[in-house]
C-alpha cells in the first residue's frame, strides 16, 4: 500500500486568529497536520495579554482552543519566534525561510505587536503610557514586566485616556475598579499592588471625533456605570435636535452618555469620576517644574488638545466654515475629525496619560528579503480580502471587500497572490474587531486554503521554496541545531505552566482565578530541563 504524505500547514501565532484558522482547517481536512509557532512560552495571544482580567467570560474561547490542541494532528511549538533577525535572547528563533522550505502552506496570524504613535511633543515624558504597555503590564506580558508605573502621585488634575474604543474603556475600568474585586481575577500581582495605591480617581476619556462617532460599545460603557461608587458625568450633546434619527444602538449609547450615573450628592467626599470629552485632538504633553516639587523630573504635568472639526469623508473640498461643518456632520456616523489650521485649544493638568489609539502590526524581519510585501501605512499584509497573500502592494480600491468573496465579483480581476501564503486576524484586517470577528475572518482564510487544496495547484512551489512537507522536525533539525538555550514549549509543557499558575492563584486566598508568571524564565522554570 502507498502512504500519502499529509498536507502540512504552519500557523504563525497562537492568538484567536491562529487557533480559529487551525480549528476550521482541521475540521475540513481530516488528515492534515498543523504546526503552530508561538514566540511566547504560553499560548492565546491577546486573550491572555489583551482582554481585561475582569472579562473572564470573554476568555471562554480557550476551551475551543484546547480542543484543537488535543488533536494528534496538531503540534504547539512555543517559545519559538519566527523571523531570523528578531531580537529574542531567551527563546528560540527560526527563520521564515526554513519554514517555507518545509511546509505546503503557511498562515501569518501573528497579530499586532507595536503601538501607534501620536508623534507629538512630550510623548516620551514619564507618566505618558501607551495602552499596549499598560494593558500588557496588568495582564502579565513579559515585555512589560518592569514597567512599574507609579500610580500613587497625588491628585493633580485628571487622568487622561486618549482614544475612544473599548480598550480605552478597559483602561478606565481597571483604574477605577476596587482592588478587592480585581483580586479575584487573573490580574498580575504587581498590578494589583500598584493599583491599590493608585490616585488616578478622576478620569477623562477623550476622543478626536464626536459622541456619535465614538468606537466603544454600549456594553463597555454600561460596565463603567456599574462600577460601585463611581460617577459617570453626564455628557451634554451639542446639537440635541436630530437625536431621534439615530440608529437604535447609537441612540441607546448616546442616551446613556447624556444621562450620566445618578449617585446621591456627596460633596464632602467626592466620588471618583469619569468624564467624556469629544472633538479634541492631542497637540502636546508638557512638563513644568513646580515649587515645591511633588512630581518627579520629566514627568508629564499637562496636556494640550486642539478642537477638531467633523467632516464628511466623501466630500473632497469641505467648507472652511467649521461651525456649519460641525453642525452638519454631528450625526453622521461616518464623519471624520480634522484639526483646523488654528484650532481652539484646551489644556488639562494631569500626571497620567494613557494613549489608547491603537495597535500596529509590522512585517516579519525576512519579508523584504523574501519578496513578501507589507503595507506599512495600513499595517497589514496585503491580501486578496479573503486571506491569500498578494505578491505586491495594490491600492485598496482594487481589492474585493471581505464581505463579498472574489468569485461573486466577476468584474474585479484578482491581483497575483503567493502560492501557499495566507494570513488571518489582525495582521490581515488591521488591529480592530472583537474575537468573534477575528474568528469569522480566520474561517474565511481557512476555507480559502481548503479551496486551494482541492485545486492542488496553489502551494509553495517545489524548487523555489522547496516544499517537502516535513514540517517541524525538519525545521528543528535545520534551525535549532547548536542552539542549546532554546527550550521549546510543547502543549504538555504549557499545561504544566497553566496548572502552576492556577495553583499560585489558589494560594493568594482571594479566590484568584490564576496568578500568572510574568517572566519568561519563571514560566520555563516550571518545566525544569
Ligand atoms: P493576537 O491575539 O495578538 O495573537 C497573535 C499571536 O502571535 C501572539 O500570541 C504573539 O505572541 C504571536 N506572535 C507574534 N509574532 C510572532 C512571531 N514572529 N513568531 C511566532 N509568534 C508570534 N475582543 C473581545 O472579543 N472581547 C474583549 O473584551 C476584548 N478585549 C480586548 C482588549 C485589548 C486591550 C485588545 C488589544 C484587544 C481586545 N479584544 C477583545 C480583541 C481581540 O483580542 C482580538 O480580536 C484578537 O486577539 C486578535 O487575534 P490575533 O490572533 O489576530 O492576534
Q: Find out whether the beta carbon of 92 lies less than 6 Å from any atom of ligand 1.
A: no
Measured in Å, residue 450 CA sits from the centre of ligand 1 at 24
Among 78, 58, 74, residue whose Cα is nearest residue 66? 74
Q: Is 8-113+361-479 a domain of CATH 3.40.50.720?
A: yes
Per-residue pLDDT of the chain (529 residues; tens, 9 = 90+): 455 678 999 999 999 999 999 999 999 999 899 999 999 999 999 999 999 999 999 999 999 999 999 999 999 999 999 986 545 556 788 999 999 989 999 999 999 989 999 999 999 999 999 999 999 999 999 999 999 999 998 768 899 999 999 999 999 999 999 999 999 999 999 999 999 999 989 999 999 999 999 999 999 999 999 999 999 999 998 877 777 788 999 999 999 999 999 888 888 888 999 999 999 999 999 998 876 677 888 999 999 999 999 998 888 777 778 788 788 888 899 999 999 999 999 999 999 999 999 999 999 999 999 889 999 989 999 999 999 999 876 654 444 444 444 444 444 455 677 788 999 999 999 999 999 999 999 999 999 999 988 876 656 655 455 567 889 999 999 887 666 667 999 999 999 999 999 999 999 888 999 999 999 999 999 998 7
Q: Find out whether the beta carbon of 81 lies less than 6 Å from any atom of ligand 1.
A: yes
Which three-class secondary structure state does DSSP give residue 130? Answer: strand
Convert the pLDDT of each residue in 103-117 to its tens digit: 999 999 999 989 999
Q: Is 115-359 a domain of CATH 3.50.50.60?
A: yes
Convert the pLDDT of each residue in 512-523 to its tens digit: 999 999 999 999
Q: Residue 467 has what pLDDT?
A: 65
The residue whose CA is least distant from atom 37 of ligand 1 is 50
Q: Residue 1 has what pLDDT?
A: 43
Distance CA 374, CA 392 (A): 8
| Grid cell in block for residue 466 | 522547496
Domain ranges of the chain: 8-113+361-479, 115-359, 491-525
Q: Find out whether the beta carbon of 37 lies less than 6 Å from any atom of ligand 1.
A: yes
Measured in Å, residue 17 CA sits from the centre of ligand 1 at 8
Task: Name, in order, each residue with C-beta under 8 angstroms of 415's C-beta and a sequence gap of 6 or more.
Answer: 384, 390, 391, 392, 394, 398, 399
The residue whose CA is least distant from atom 43 of ligand 1 is 46
Distance CA 40, CA 145 (A): 14
Measured in Å, residue 131 CA sits from the centre of ligand 1 at 14
Measured in Å, residue 360 CA sits from the centre of ligand 1 at 11
The residue whose CA is least distant from atom 35 of ligand 1 is 50
Measured in Å, residue 466 CA sits from the centre of ligand 1 at 31
- The long-range contacts involving 282-288, CB below 8 angstroms and separated by at least 24 positions, are 282/118, 282/120, 282/162, 282/206, 283/120, 283/343, 283/345, 284/120, 284/121, 284/122, 285/120, 285/121, 285/122, 285/123, 285/125, 285/128, 285/353, 286/122, 286/125, 287/122, 287/125
Minimum-distance ligand 1 atom for the alpha carbon of 44: 9
Amino acid at each position: 500500500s502507498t502512504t500519502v504524505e499529509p498536507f502540512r500547514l504552519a500557523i504563525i501565532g497562537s492568538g484567536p486568529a491562529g487557533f480559529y484558522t487551525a480549528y476550521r482547517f482541521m475540521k475540513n481536512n481530516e488528515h492534515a497536520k498543523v504546526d503552530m509557532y508561538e514566540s511566547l512560552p504560553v499560548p492565546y495571544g491577546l486573550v491572555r495579554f489583551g482582554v481585561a482580567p475582569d472579562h473572564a467570560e470573554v476568555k471562554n474561547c480557550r476551551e475551543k482552543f484546547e480542543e484543537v490542541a488535543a488533536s494528534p494532528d496538531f503540534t504547539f511549538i512555543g517559545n519559538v519566534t519566527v523571523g531570523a533577525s528578531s531580537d529574542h535572547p531567551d527563546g528560540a528563533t527560526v527563520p521564515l525561510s526554513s519554514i517555507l522550505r518545509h511546509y505546503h502552506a503557511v498562515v501569518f496570524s501573528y497579530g499586532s505587536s507595536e503601538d501607534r504613535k501620536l508623534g507629538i511633543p512630550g510623548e516620551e515624558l514619564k507618566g505618558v503610557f501607551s495602552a499596549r504597555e499598560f494593558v500588557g503590564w496588568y495582564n502579565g506580558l513579559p515585555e512589560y514586566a518592569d514597567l512599574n508605573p507609579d500610580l500613587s502621585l497625588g491628585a493633580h488634575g485628571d487622568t487622561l485616556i486618549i482614544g475612544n474604543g473599548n480598550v480605552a474603556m478597559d483602561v478606565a475600568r481597571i483604574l477605577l475598579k476596587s482592588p478587592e474585586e480585581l483580586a479575584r481575577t487573573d490580574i498580575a500581582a504587581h498590578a494589583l499592588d500598584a493599583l491599590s495605591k493608585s490616585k488616578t480617581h478622576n478620569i477623562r476619556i477623550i476622543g478626536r471625533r464626536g459622541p456619535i462617532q465614538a468606537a466603544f460599545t454600549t456594553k463597555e460603557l454600561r460596565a463603567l456605570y456599574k462600577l460601585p461608587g463611581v460617577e459617570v458625568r453626564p455628557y451634554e450633546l451639542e446639537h440635541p435636535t436630530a437625536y431621534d434619527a439615530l440608529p437604535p444602538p447609537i441612540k441607546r449609547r448616546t442616551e446613556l452618555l447624556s444621562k450620566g450615573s445618578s449617585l446621591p450628592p456627596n460633596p464632602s467626599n467626592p466620588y471618583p469620576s469619569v468624564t467624556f470629552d469629544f472633538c479634541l485632538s492631542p497637540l502636546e504633553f508638557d512638563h513644568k517644574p513646580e515649587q515645591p516639587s511633588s512630581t518627579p523630573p520629566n514627568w508629564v504635568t499637562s496636556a494640550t488638545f486642539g478642537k477638531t472639526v467633523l467632516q464628511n469623508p466623501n466630500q473632497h473640498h469641505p467648507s472652511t466654515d467649521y461651525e456649519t461643518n460641525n453642525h452638519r456632520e454631528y450625526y453622521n456616523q461616518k464623519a471624520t475629525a480634522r484639526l483646523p489650521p488654528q484650532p481652539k485649544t484646551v489644556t488639562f493638568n494631569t500626571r497620567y496619560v494613557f494613549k489608547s489609539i491603537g495597535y500596529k502590526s509590522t512585517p516579519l524581519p525576512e519579508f523584504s528579503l523574501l519578496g513578501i510585501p507589507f503595507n506599512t501605512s495600513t499595517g497589514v499584509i496585503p491580501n486578496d480580502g479573503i486571506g491569500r497573500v498578494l505578491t505586491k502592494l495594490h491600492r485598496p480600491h482594487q481589492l474585493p471587500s471581505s464581505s463579498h468573496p472574489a468569485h461573486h465579483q466577476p468584474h474585479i480581476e484578482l491581483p497575483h497572490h503567493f502560492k501557499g501564503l495566507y494570513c488571518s486576524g489582525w495582521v490581515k484586517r488591521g488591529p480592530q474587531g472583537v474575537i468573534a470577528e477575528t474568528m469569522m475572518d480566520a474561517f474565511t482564510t481557512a476555507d480559502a486554503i481548503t479551496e486551494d487544496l482541492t485545486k492542488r495547484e496553489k502551494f509553495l512551489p517545489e524548487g523555489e521554496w522547496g516544499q517537502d512537507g516535513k514540517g517541524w522536525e525538519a525545521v528543528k533539525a535545520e534551525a535549532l541545531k547548536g542552539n542549546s538555550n532554546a527550550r521549546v514549549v510543547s502543549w504538555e509543557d504549557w499545561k504544566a505552566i497553566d496548572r502552576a499558575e492556577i495553583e499560585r492563584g489558589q494560594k493568594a486566598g482571594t479566590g484568584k482565578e490564576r496568578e500568572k508568571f510574568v517572566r519568561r524564565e519563571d514560566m520555563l522554570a516550571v518545566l525544569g530541563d
